[in-house]
Amino acid sequence: MTEQKLEGSGGYVIADITEAQTKNADLGVGKLFLGKAGKLEAEKMSKHYCKKCETEFNNPPKIHLEQNTDEQVADNLVLIERGQYTCEKCDSIIGEYRVFKKNDESSEAGNAKPAQ
């Protein structure tokens, strides 16, 4: 685990993340992105910054989640949880995350494939 700055549309979060989360959050532009890191536990986040109230807080943001959405988003791909990290002061959204599952893990459907 390493402490990293993860950018969101409404600010950023400082969190201890795994190497796999770092790889997912890196889109190759020199920044790590909160939404791509996946769901983060509150105890792994140490700070957050809100662009709206222009304040950095020495604790994690609030987490609002919607579980069991069971929304079919593609063949063999279901959205099971949607969440938002929000500012503790003004409730502005700092970033969002999504958790997906495949109904059939052995199927190729639902896998991203590089362009040929």
pLDDT tens-digit map of 79-99: 888 899 999 999 999 999 988
* DSSP letter assigned to residue 43: G
Calculate the CA 8 to chain-centre distance: 9
Q: Which two tokens stand for residue 33?
A: 């992105």
pLDDT digits (tens, 9 = 90+) for 29-82: 989 999 899 889 999 999 999 999 999 999 999 999 876 677 888 888 888 888
Q: Which of 88, 95, 93 has the alpha carbon at shortest distance from 57?
A: 88
Q: Which residues pair with 46 in a beta bridge?
A: none
